[in-house]
Amino acid sequence: MKEINYQFLKNTIKPRPYNAHKGSMGSLLSICGSYGMAGAEILSAKSALRTGVGLLRLLILKSVYPIVAQVVPEAVFLPVDNGDKLSFSMKNIDTINENIGKSKALLIGCGLSHNEDTENLVQYIVKNCKIPMVLDADGLNCISNHINLLKEKSCDIIITPHPGEMSRLTGLSVKEISANPQKVAEDFSREYGVVTVLKGADTVISNGEETYISYAGNPGMATGGSGDVLAGIISSLLAQGYSPTDSACCGVFIHGSAGDEAKKVLGEASMLPSDIVDNIYKVFKNIE
């Protein structure tokens, strides 16, 4: 198992070209959030932007659009009206397909909510999407009872489960997963052909052939929303053209290192996921 460190990051992340423009720095479509979970969409969006993606498109419910638009002015918004529905559904698939065609990568799941509507939507996207994606949080919960859909996928997929989500995907107990995260991640990646980011105090990343570990991060990051920040970072790198394995490895290290930078100023007890976002720039400055 290989350790991810600053040298790994420096060797992998390319300097932005002198003639870079928003079209050359990748475009990301985010399908995240629901009524009551706008924060997940905000955190993942802000972290994706801080990680350098050229253009971010956010599918968003009209009911939460005013909230998110005020705090993420850099994004392009795709408001949809689902009536009294509190989450996305197959009703939105035409808008989604149109914008998948304009994007280099997809993020789905942060704060999405888990119900029949979102299950149908996520399962359709996993089976039919042609651009690489990050599948996080409720996106994973929406396929946990239909896990073999991953074998029918048409694109590269990075999954980002914590042990509880991994338990639902595999049928293993959290105790079994925590006892041997390397084997669990490797076995799952081999069987389903995905890159697995198994989150924990020391996060393990595997593509089934190579396995990595990151020791960056601290207990101050153990708060709701931290995973949304990670998903945004990884998907931003994926949209910029990095391989799924490199996106996952670099994303995990950037996330943990930004958390360590936040700890230096705020300590562990008082830091928030938004503080991780606010310190991403320091990690990039450290490899310039």
pLDDT of residue 111: 98
Instruction: Determine whether the annotation assigns residue 200 to a binding site.
Output: yes
Domains and CATH numbers, the chain: 2-12+25-285 (3.40.1190.20)
pLDDT at residue 174 in the model: 98
Q: Is 228 marked as binding a ligand? A: yes
Is residue 84 pLDDT above 90, yes or no? no
What is the band of 145 on the pLDDT scale with cuts at 50, 70, 90? Answer: very high
The pLDDT value given to residue 152:
96
Mean pLDDT, the chain, whole residue set: 98
Gap between the Cα atoms of 35 and 210, Å rounded: 39
Q: Would you list the DSSP string of 146-200?
A: -GGGGGG-SS-EEE---HHHHHHHH---HHHHHH-HHHHHHHHHHHHT-EEEE-S
Distance CA 247, CA 273 (A): 20
pLDDT tens digit sequence for 178-200: 999 999 999 999 999 999 999 99
**Phi, psi of 30, rounded to the nearest 5 degrees:** -115, 125
Q: According to the annotation, is 220 in a ligand binding site?
A: no
Residue in 113, 143, 144, 116 with CA at minimum distance from that of residue 127: 143
Read off the tokens for 222.
């153990």
Helices of type H across the chain: 6-12, 38-50, 65-71, 93-100, 116-128, 138-141, 163-170, 174-179, 181-192, 226-239, 244-266, 273-278, 280-285
Token pair, residue 127, equals: 């089976």
Question: How much is the pTM?
Answer: 0.98
CB-based contact 263:220 (threshold 8 Å)? yes
246 annotated ligand-binding residue: no
CB-based contact 11:222 (threshold 8 Å):
no
Q: Annotation-wise, does 162 bind a ligand? A: yes
Helix (H, G, I), strand (E, B) or coil at 40: helix
129-138 tens-digit pLDDT: 999 999 999 9
C-alpha torsion angle, residues 63, 68, 74, 76 (rounded to 10): -20
Asked whether the predicted pLDDT for residue 92 surpasses 90, the reply is: yes
SS3 279: coil
* Number of CB atoms found within 10 A of residue 157's CB: 21
Q: Under DSSP, is residue 233 helix (H, G, I), strand (E, B) or coil?
A: helix
Contact 230, 245 (CB under 8 A): no
- The closest alpha carbon to 99, from 171, 3, 5, 27, belongs to 27
Specify the amino acid at residue 210. Answer: E
Q: 């310190």: which residue's tokens?
A: 279
User: CA quadruple 263, 109, 111, 119: dihedral positive or negative?
Assistant: negative
- Residue 159: exposed, middle, or buried by beta-carbon count in 10 A (0-12, 13-18, 19+)? buried
114 is in an annotated binding site: no
pLDDT in tens, 224-273: 999 999 999 999 999 999 999 999 999 999 999 999 999 999 999 999 99
pLDDT value at 45 more than 90: yes
* Residue 203 marked ligand-binding: yes
